[in-house]
């Protein structure tokens, strides 16, 4: 029964590990992003990076792992305010427009704050970052050039 608590997901199941580490971009901590681990059986595990680029994630199955890293924090877009004098304002009067058109016109995209990594790093399948997860408590740190 004790082995169930020492890095095994369930009695008789596959062994799992705790992964921890730091993510940096050009030598500086990547604050507020996320790191994603993709296992060989296509399970995805995601952890948030703190302000120093540190993370910790538990119960990740051992074996080959691909890694994706998404930088930055996102600020929600400003909420559009209706203009009652403008009859064409999609928030006030959707007259002459479909609901989807009005929604699309009034919806702004989130704003990325801070560092932006090249797109390939965001997907574990395209990042080129891989490692073997084999220890019960394993460090994986990465400095992206």
pLDDT tens, position by position, 69-116: 988 765 555 555 555 565 555 544 444 444 444 444 444 444 445 677
What's the angle, vertex CA 16, arms to CA 15 and CA 21, rounded to 5?
Answer: 145
The residue segments making up the domain with residue 6 are 1-72+118-135
Please tell me the distance from the alpha carbon of residue 145 to that of residue 38, in angstroms, as a whole number: 22
pLDDT of residue 114: 62
Q: Are 24 and 31 in contact (CB under 8 A)?
A: no
How many domains does the chain fold into?
A: 2
Same domain, 1 and 54: yes
What's the angle, vertex CA 100, arms to CA 95 and CA 103, rounded to 5?
Answer: 80
Same domain, 35 and 67: yes
pLDDT of residue 76: 52
Same domain, 16 and 4: yes
């Amino acid at each position: 029964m004790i082995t169930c608590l020492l890095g095994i997901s369930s009695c008789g199941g596959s062994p799992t590990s705790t992964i921890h580490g730091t993510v940096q971009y050009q030598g500086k901590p990547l604050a507020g992003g996320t790191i994603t681990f993709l296992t060989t059986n296509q399970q995805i595990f995601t952890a948030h990076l703190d302000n120093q680029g540190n993370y910790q994630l538990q119960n990740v199955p051992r074996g080959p792992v691909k890694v994706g890293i998404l930088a930055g924090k996102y600020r929600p877009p400003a909420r559009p305010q209706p203009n009652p004098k403008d009859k064409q304002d999609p928030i006030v009067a959707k007259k002459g427009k479909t609901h989807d058109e009005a929604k699309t016109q009034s919806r702004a995209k989130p704003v990325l704050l801070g560092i932006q990594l090249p797109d390939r790093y965001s997907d574990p399948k395209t990042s080129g970052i891989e490692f073997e997860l084999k220890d019960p408590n394993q460090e994986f740190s990465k400095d992206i050039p």
